[in-house]
Amino acid sequence: MYFIKKENKISLTIEGRNAVAGYLFLLPFLIGFLAFMFYPILESLIMVFNRVKIDTVNSRFLMEYIGLENLKRVVMVDAEFNRMLTEEIWRMVLIVPAIIIFSLFVALLLNQEFKARGFVRAVFFLPVILSSGIMIGLETNNSLLNSMAEIIKEGNLMKTSITRVLQDILVTEGAASDFMAYIFKIVNQIYDIAMASGIQIIIFLSALQTIPPSMFEAAEIEGATSWECFWKITFPMVSPLILVNVVYSVVDYFLRTDNRVMMKINSALMQRLEFGFSTAMAWVYFLAVIVILGIAMGIISKRVYYYE
């Protein structure tokens, strides 16, 4: 209840005051969204059902209604888009769990008491800056970095590579081979995982710092081990933030500028000026991301523990 009647006066409850504070925090975003984003989004939705040309004389768009032709081209004709979308979804399924596990592990380490803890935390936040769109563009277009990446890639393909030797030894036939193959795929992408884990580490770290120390003290008095404290106290207490980090990681992955689907959409828009086709791809991509987020939230929210 947000309101309570006291002495013939209606006043806000604590829950109501928290709700008002939340809406005030959302208000700048809502104003900015309605002022600057709502109309472009609506116009892009209209473009999906039209063939769009540019009127250079009057500096405006000329639209010819064609119904679902753009969507049919995206879903049924353009095989490259479907292939790229499927591959990116599988890559996301591979990387996002690794990001969550890696960020939780690092947050647990950074939550311990040790010298130069602030400096180490700053080091792990650097990927947030380095993974910005500008830095990714510099990294992608840098010939030196590209040549170094090719050398490293060729080195990883050599039989003398340590990871390749371990993979040949450990990956055998059977059910365990699939798990080991997954582990080696994660190891090969550890750079991408570390670059994408900065915000998640901070979120997990903030969650860990809100856990009352008295809970761990009581558990230690009862004879609980560190392993039992993690699964019975730490993990349930940070589980709501796991859901937050999964949603953030999925959205962040699908919005990366080096994402091949995003690159294809930008190519159709900026190079070939196919506004209707590019917006149709963008909306299909958006709906696919919404479905994935809905599935992830539906699965994880059932396991979330909310502490009162």
What average pLDDT score do residues 85-105 get?
88
**More confident call, 306 vs 286:** 286
Among 108-112, 245-249, 254-258, name the one with the lowest average pLDDT.
Answer: 254-258
* Residue range of the domain that includes 25: 1-48
Q: What is the pLDDT of residue 303?
A: 77
Burial class (CB in 10 A: 0-12, 13-18, 19+), 128: middle
What average pLDDT score do residues 145-168 get?
53
In a domain, 34, yes or no: yes
Match 């059902």 to its residue by tokens.
Answer: 49
Task: Give the distance from CA 87 to its chain's centroid.
Answer: 16
Q: What is the pLDDT of residue 237?
A: 86
What average pLDDT score do residues 75-89 get?
86
In a domain, 63, yes or no: no
Give the DSSP per-residue string, 147-195.
Answer: HHHHHHHHHHTSTT-HHHHHHHHH--SSHHHHHHHHHHHHHHTHHHHHH
Q: What is the pLDDT of residue 180?
A: 66
- Alpha-carbon distance 30 to 132, whole Å? 24
Cβ proximity of 67 and 280 under 8 Å:
no
For 263-305, what is each residue's pLDDT tens digit?
Answer: 888 888 888 888 888 888 889 989 998 999 998 888 888 777 7
Q: What is the pLDDT of residue 28?
A: 92
pTM for this entry? 0.73
- Alpha-carbon distance 198 to 209, whole Å? 17
Residues 107 and 256 in one domain: yes
Residues 15 and 72 in one domain: no
Which of 110-124, 166-180, 201-215 ranks highest by mean pLDDT? 201-215
Residue 6 corresponds to which amino acid?
K
For 6-40, what is each residue's pLDDT tens digit?
Answer: 767 777 777 778 888 888 999 999 999 898 888 88
Nearest of 211, 233, 213, 212 to residue 224 by alpha carbon: 233
Q: Which two tokens stand for residue 204?
A: 């997990």
Residues 107 and 239 in one domain: yes
Cβ proximity of 244 and 204 under 8 Å:
no
pLDDT of 48 strictly over 80? yes
What average pLDDT score do residues 157-169 get?
53
Residues 2 and 84 in one domain: no
Q: What is the pLDDT of residue 271?
A: 81
Banded model confidence at residue 159, pLDDT cuts 50, 70, 90? very low
Give the count of domains, the chain. Answer: 2
Q: How many CB atoms lie within 10 A of CB 52?
A: 21
What average pLDDT score do residues 168-184 get?
60
Query: Over the chain, what is the mean pLDDT?
Result: 78
In a domain, 56, yes or no: no
Residues 87 and 209 in one domain: yes
